[in-house]
Structure 1
Amino acid sequence: MSSIPSLLRDRIAATPDAEAYRVPSGDGWTSLTWREVGERVRRLALSLSELGSGPDTRVSILCSTRLEWIICDLAVLATGAATTTIYPSNTAAESAFVITDSGSTIVIAENDEQVAKLRSVQKEVPDVTRVIVIDGSPSDDGWVVTLASLSEGPQSGGSQSGGSQSGGDDGGADYDAMVDAIGQHDLATLIYTSGTTGRPKGVELTHDNWLYAAGAVREIDLLSPADLHFLWLPLSHSFGKLLEVVMIEVGVATAIDGRLDKIAENLGVLKPTVMAAAPRIFEKIHNTVAANMQRDGGLKLRIFNWARQTGARVVRARQRGAEVPFSTRAEYALADRLVFAKLRERFGGRIRFFISGAAPLSQDIAEFFDAAGLTILEGYGLTETSAGSFLNLPQSVRFGTVGLPFPGTGVRIADDGEILIGGRGVMRGYHGLPVETAEALEDGWLRTGDIGELDEAGRLRITDRKKELIKTSGGKYVAPTYLEGRIKAACPYLSHVFVHGDRRNYVTALVTLDMDVVEPWARAESLPTDPEELREHPRMRAEVEKAIKQVNEGEASYATVKKFAILGGDFTVETGELTPSLKIRRKAVEERHGEVLDAFYA
């Protein structure tokens, strides 16, 4: 096959009546087969073609994770056009930039709220001829039409029968002909890197980029058609987009619900076997469990801590390839019955593994989940490499690494430690930015901007971002994200940690509180529940100080955190301190909290 639409067509031919997607419906869930998905995609593609979607055009999608996102994406691609992704959290100005820079002529918006955002910048996006709203109303001026009005097929009367079509509709929009005309190196997706600094760049990913990555996942035999995949990740992010294509490749049913507040409930109801997430979700789960145990105290806390320590001994022995003593195995069996089995049940009881990507995963968190029989497979990739380049496999997990490269992916470590990646997954380039493209690509090898090393088995270990390494005034290099992850794992009440110290004489940290976790504990301990009051309370500071001291004990003196401050508010996307994929914008944090940071060194 040469394109994502042809991949979908092959999937429909192979398993037409198998479950493709499961979506919330009232108080339950409704399923669609691959045949039904194909018919919806075909009808919408013909309508979009009539509106001008086709080769060398772009269509932006401004929507949260839901079935319609995928249907629209597949329909856009079937016309020969490319999809441009926009996070629903993006501001009107940010959305206008992506739409204009990408040259999008059609925008698919989730609801009237997103349409209002586009209306506010309509003069800045003059090339947009139509906005298609999923949940909303059409406009009197015709600029906004509804998805429902397009979902029955083209208004010019194209064929509505199932399966393949031959020509004959007034618009000449023959679905199979459109799909057959798509080349493997045609542009499929423009994803704008949110970037921790600087202007977003549009990453050009071709159909072949995605087909390679999805085929590599199939080749490593990670998934089977018997799996149930739960998808909540943003489809605007390359990680979510890769999962979309992978599940078509393998034929895995996907339950879709992008509502973050429903994740825990959905896991219990759906009982999925596979779920991918960013590390923040695993940190949140771990911290909630740990905080609940601390709040209960007494025997429950002692049993939990004992189980955790027992599990860690077993996991570390397995990692070393050492035999676990009989006495430890017996203790672990009891720990599993008393603690870990209950945790597995909260996730539906059928999880085979989780997949973590988009940011570094703390080794402490990975060990905790593995002890509970909920192994997290950490992987690594960039938007510029179609999201997936490395992955730990269930039979050979090595915590602290992101595993082996995908089949066909090449890796080199430059003299300065920078990771270079080559292969079919590497982007075509940055949209309209030849200089930046040339700087990023050297003889087909992508400069990732990450520092790392390969172990004796060829597994990759990420040290830190090249541009984010701290160099103290004493000339010592410190990896901030490594310290941040360890501190968060050591204190369940923290949401984010920001380690600072570049060109300073020692390292400091800003921390924010996870009020969902800390408030019940504070109430139980008769502490203030107002964040501003709580952050200054000696008991709260003592909890954070204890975690930092624990992490400092394993570090060289120059890498230890000497001072810290608890902030009254969390880092958020809205305040600009986080990217839409929840990575810390380091420059934004330094600017916003410059006075606090400077006071550390006064």
Structure 2
Amino acid sequence: MSDTQTLIENRPPSVAALFLERVAATPDAEAYRYPVPPASGEGPDDWKSLSWAQAAERVFAIAAGLIELGVQPEQRVALSSATRVEWILADLGILCAGAATTTVYPQTNAEESAFILSDSESKVLIAEDAAQLAKAREKRAELPELTHVVVIDGTGVDSSQDEGDWVLTLAELEKRGAAVLEKNPDLIKEKVAAITSDQLATLIYTSGTTGRPKGVRLPHDNWSYMAKATSATGLISAEDVQYLWLPLAHVFGKVLTSGQIDVGHVTAVDGRVDKIIENLPVVQPTYMAAVPRIFEKVYNGVAAKARAGGPAKYKIFQWAAGVAREYAKVSQDNFRRTGTASVPFGLGAKHKIADALVYSKLREAFGGNMRACVSGSAALAPDIGYFFAGAGVHILEGYGLTESSAASFVNPGEAYRTGTVGKPLPGTEVRIADDGEILLRGPGIMEGYHKLPDKTAEVLEQDGWFHTGDIGELSPDGYLKITDRKKDLIKTSGGKYIAPAEVEGRFKAVCPYVSNILVHGADRNFCTALIALDEPSILGWAKENGMEGKSYAEVVAAPATVELIDGYVKQLNEGLQRWQTIKKFKILPRDLDIEHGELTPSLKLKRPVVEREYKHLIDDMYAGSREA
């Protein structure tokens, strides 16, 4: 048995147990870094730190406080907050109490929040602020199981309108817990020792594209396995500094906290997406996980900045981008064949010049120390991946689902291959079904859907194989390439199958102004596209093209803008098979967003929602065609 297998098979029963081991091993080492905005509201944030021992003090107080509120093992405690250090402390507190965390996105409306709280039978809600508390108050009559709401940031919270201690602050909960621990200092150690690997740890509701979300039951063993398997990949070490901004209500964010506890590195936590560009040079992380949309935004921003510098500067950027892609493709291909990422002398010389002019500035924007970024949740357009790879910002694509505890595949360090999601994590099995569907089996697979045995049986076979719903192919040496969602594959009326994600990804690499694109064509005789533009990029272009001062809606409706995007669509079509080409397109009057329900909180496109909302535009594109 290999060291890796031993490490994984001898894993502790829970991440709570791993946390206790980490605190005992490195109590004084820095665990978390978090921002404190200035009192005046102006100027840079002040970053504070918590050592593992300081974090444990708060985690144990939260755990003891929840026990004092009557929370029993496996009972659910809901957590509705943006990503912040208190989210992690609260989650660990829930786990150390032997309870289970129900994650709720802070953007979730009152009705859906109430459904999740009710369906999960959550006993306590830990809410970020007054806005999250207001949703629970509004639906309180529908939530008889909910005995308490704990508010992280008590600003503007008036608890006098609630009887008893239905509402209390996190500080008050910790104070109660500390008093409990004074009388019984070993309470939490005893609770953690009693946790078994099959006990429920997390209940994550998938943001379904149709109907009610399903609660995915993930026992403690899933996270213990994830912690050991991610550290066994060798991709993270004790010297790393992670920048964590992803939504922790999402399974991808959650897995990052487990691996960190196992290796003991520093994590800087700040979920404010608008602060990423400002924070990276301050935190100077060595790795960061993100979703493709973030890399697309950075790419579009760099391209727009170059264009604003004038034709000469933009020409240099375009040349450097081409060199980066060629360099990445050649070096990855050579590494695959020979084990060394060598490139011909001429290409290396061009790359050196491009590095001085363009790439070095890009790496500085990422903080200067970025060893690798991990991308997941959706496919990254290969041309964007190659650009970053050639520029020295290595993006390791990974793959997993909520049902597989997020990380089933990841690209292996130096041997990563852009356009693939890498190899399975140690201990995870994969096979491709006859129809191309990816099947997974291993310790990361869910127990099932909460209170939905029929839905569980649809995707989980009795011998443990899980049907992902994704279509993919495996290379002879075990690298997985995702081609599309099974249900998203388009079959034209001419009988041709098209993977819309592939076409959409290609367009994002060609057009620097795109934010979102949806390719449509199921049962039609040609493909069309709905295109949403990136506001800062297109307004920058508009300013240079005689439309300064015009609103976003006016700019995207202008004939010059349609002509601009038409040029990129033609460029896209040159590289596609005839049946894949986009014959017509419409530019949307606004970008797609989470608030309108068109994107999931992890920024995935909800195709049925967008197609329903813009049905009139789709119908208009097919009006007058032979099928109309």
User: What range describes the TM-score normalised by the shorter chain of this pair?
Assistant: over 0.9
Counterpart of 2:85? 67
Amino acid at match of 2:502: Y
Aligned positions of 1:61-460 closer than 5 A: 61-136=79-154, 137=157, 139-140=159-160, 141=163, 142-154=165-177, 157-160=179-182, 165-166=185-186, 174-321=187-334, 323-442=342-461, 443-460=463-480
Contact 2:374–2:397 (CA<8 Å) still a contact in 1?
yes
Do residues 6 (structure 1) and 6 (structure 2) align? Answer: no
Counterpart of 2:521? 501
In 2, Cα distance between equivalents of 1:590 and 1:330: 48
Amino acid at match of 2:21: D
Shift of 1:516: 2.0
Q: Which runs of 5+ in 2 are unaligned?
A: 1-11, 39-44, 624-628
CA RMSD of superposed structures (Å):
1.3
Amino acid at match of 2:363: R
Shift of 1:532: 2.3
Report Cα offsets for 1:136-179 as digits up to 9, x if no partner: 23512232111111112438x42339xx934xxxxxxx111111
Shift of 1:245: 0.8
Counterpart of 2:6? none
Amino acid at match of 2:281: G
- Number of aligned positions between the proteins: 592
Contact 1:491–1:543 (CA<8 Å) still a contact in 2?
no
In 2, Cα distance between equivalents of 1:546 and 1:419: 36
3-state SS of paired residue (1:570): coil
Contact 2:437–2:468 (CA<8 Å) still a contact in 1?
yes
Q: Which ranges of 4 or more aligned residues in structure 1 deviate by more than 4 Å? A: none
3-state SS of paired residue (1:160): helix
Counterpart of 1:577? 598
3-state SS of paired residue (1:492): coil
In 2, Cα distance between equivalents of 1:147 and 1:182: 24
Contact 2:60–2:177 (CA<8 Å) still a contact in 1?
no
In 2, Cα distance between equivalents of 1:14 and 1:298: 57
In 2, Cα distance between equivalents of 1:190 and 1:246: 19
Report Cα offsets for 1:275-319 as digits up to 9, x if no partner: 000000000000111122122222211211121122222111112
Contact 2:227–2:258 (CA<8 Å) still a contact in 1?
yes
Shift of 1:517: 2.0
In 1, Cα distance between equivalents of 2:584 and 2:505: 17
Aligned positions of 1:439-588 closer than 5 A: 439-442=458-461, 443-527=463-547, 529-588=550-609
TM-score by length of 1: 0.96
Contact 2:557–2:589 (CA<8 Å) still a contact in 1?
no
Counterpart of 1:52? 70
**Relative to structure 2, which stretch is displaced further, 524-533 or 376-385?**
524-533
Identity of aligned residues (%): 52
Amino acid at match of 1:147: L
3-state SS of paired residue (1:16): coil
**Relative to structure 2, which stretch is displaced further, 57-66 or 572-581?**
572-581
Counterpart of 1:591? 612
In 1, Cα distance between equivalents of 2:544 and 2:567: 20
Q: Which runs of 5+ in 1 are unaligned?
A: 167-173
Report Cα offsets for 1:543-594 as digits up to 9, x if no partner: 2112222221111111111100001111111111111221111111111100
Contact 2:429–2:442 (CA<8 Å) still a contact in 1?
yes
Contact 2:303–2:512 (CA<8 Å) still a contact in 1?
yes
3-state SS of paired residue (1:182): coil
3-state SS of paired residue (2:385): helix
In 1, Cα distance between equivalents of 2:74 and 2:268: 32
In 2, Cα distance between equivalents of 1:225 and 1:149: 34
In 2, Cα distance between equivalents of 1:295 and 1:29: 33
In 2, Cα distance between equivalents of 1:12 and 1:154: 19
In 1, Cα distance between equivalents of 2:52 and 2:554: 54
